[in-house]
Structure 1
């Protein structure tokens, strides 16, 4: 909250995006609100895996635009190390643990968050899984079909990103920054080319933090701002993608 220049007093919505919470209740959002001393906010967790922060940010934006919320905290957090198979070197060396958060509130000036373009391909949900054998068989183990995921990400996703730019009235060549889910550098570079955003500052925090799932976009975005790579108020495309 200190970096945002805000206190917890005015927060009325807490959304936590995560796919690695062991406990079903209370929600991680409720625990965050309790730790921050926020009185009576709306709280819920959201599981969209690696796309989680983008989903949560859009949900907070929509709630504020609808007047259901005035100021929200959006958190992306995953502790992937709890669910990795350390004998599977094709996955365990890729992932990291991380968390990132943003304060979202209404503003008088134009711009801000959105428009949002949603999408999914449920038929490919089996390419990335974190499942137990039964309701009490913990821990679950992460599994990924790497080649299938790479083909999907590099051949099917760019039109969704271009659609988001078109709805915002921004040519991809005009983007100041591109912050995708930090899957790996080959996917990020391929998406940048196919989106047409080669002139943008492209986030590659994956080389420092690994793939942190729901935390990857807020971590990558914050580092670009902290290092002065992207001026405030310029157009940035946030592009989350993952399981399903």
Structure 2
């Protein structure tokens, strides 16, 4: 039986020029390079310039993804941006990206699921493409997490970085099997009772007093992350009719190297199959999966025909996974 799948035809990534090393943080808070590496695996992260907005990072990643797909701005008819750090309360960052790219038509909107945002946005775009509502979609994860960090809080300020990643999505015909090219399955979840574990303590509710900074109960987030992410990944593989042996590359949300290792071990995946950029990028929230994906393509590991498993967990708590044949 012929079915319409949503294929990933191009991937791009962008990182700001400014780099903050662990040594830089030793001059801000009571920490050491050894402590940060041992607890998180992070060695450095990128920071947007004062004149750079989330939309600027998103545009650069989108251009690279479009070039990889062999498409132009005239082909785009849908833009979805996953972000926790929008340029403005409204309009959407996707609308601003549309204008900056010069895209002449189509829908544009944001998705907010924090670190899970890219997978959530991908699922929304899949609905558009697979139903024929979009012929060429851009899904972008973009963040300037540095704008919502408390640089006196050593438990959070060391964890995050800025960046953007993008994918181009187009329709592809398949036979309804796990060998099809394209997105094969999703698992999306949320437990709103755990909002107090990871949140930003300000915003429009706060009478405009301050933008707000990230607050996190790190040990609790870690405990839930390995369990919830593993469950979502197993569910996505089951829905696609796959087992762990079919996975060529595991491309997780880059939160913490210990979480990456814990999930891979729980899923029975060889750690050599894990695409990890956490040491170089830190946690770029919704941007982390497409950035790691792009890194895997750049170094030649991730190739056409490979089966990739992606996953993430973020504030909400939200968590999600997807299985995709390239």
User: What TM-score, normalized by structure 1, do the two folds share?
Assistant: 0.96
Equivalent residue, structure 2, for 1:31: 96
**Alignment partner for residue 199 of structure 2, among 126, 129, 137?**
129
Q: Give the whole-Å Cα distance in 1 for the aligned partners of 2:209 and 2:169.
A: 38
Q: Give the whole-Å Cα distance in 1 for the aligned partners of 2:127 and 2:207.
A: 34
Equivalent residue, structure 1, for 2:86: 21
> What pairs up with 1:141-220 in 2 under 5 angstroms?
141-198=213-270, 201-220=273-292
Equivalent residue, structure 2, for 1:228: 300
How many aligned positions are there? 244
Equivalent residue, structure 2, for 1:106: 171
Would you say the 8 A contact 1:58–1:114 is kept in 2?
no
What does the per-residue CA deviation read over 1:186-231, in whole Å, with 9 as the maximum and x for residues that have no partner? Answer: 0000000111222662011111001000100000011011111122
Q: Give the whole-Å Cα distance in 1 for the aligned partners of 2:282 and 2:245.
A: 27
Higher alpha-carbon Rg: 2
User: What TM-score, normalized by structure 2, do the two folds share?
Assistant: 0.72
1:68 aligns with 2:133: yes
Q: Give the whole-Å Cα distance in 2 for the aligned partners of 1:137 and 1:168.
A: 47
Q: Which runs of 4+ in 1 moved over 4 A?
A: none
Change (3 A) 1:56 1:146: same
Cα displacement (A) at 1:160: 1.6
Q: Give the whole-Å Cα distance in 1 for the aligned partners of 2:200 and 2:167.
A: 26
**Alignment partner for residue 119 of structure 2, among 48, 51, 54?**
54
SS of equivalent residue, structure 2 residue 266: helix
Would you say the 8 A contact 1:176–1:199 is kept in 2?
no
Q: Give the whole-Å Cα distance in 2 for the aligned partners of 1:30 and 1:124.
A: 31
Would you say the 8 A contact 2:229–2:311 is kept in 1?
no
Q: Give the whole-Å Cα distance in 2 for the aligned partners of 1:153 and 1:68.
A: 34
Let me know the Cα RMSD of the aligned residues.
1.4
SS of equivalent residue, structure 1 residue 241: strand
Specify every segment of 5 or more residues in structure 1 that has no aligned partner in the other structure, as ranges: none
Would you say the 8 A contact 2:77–2:134 is kept in 1?
yes
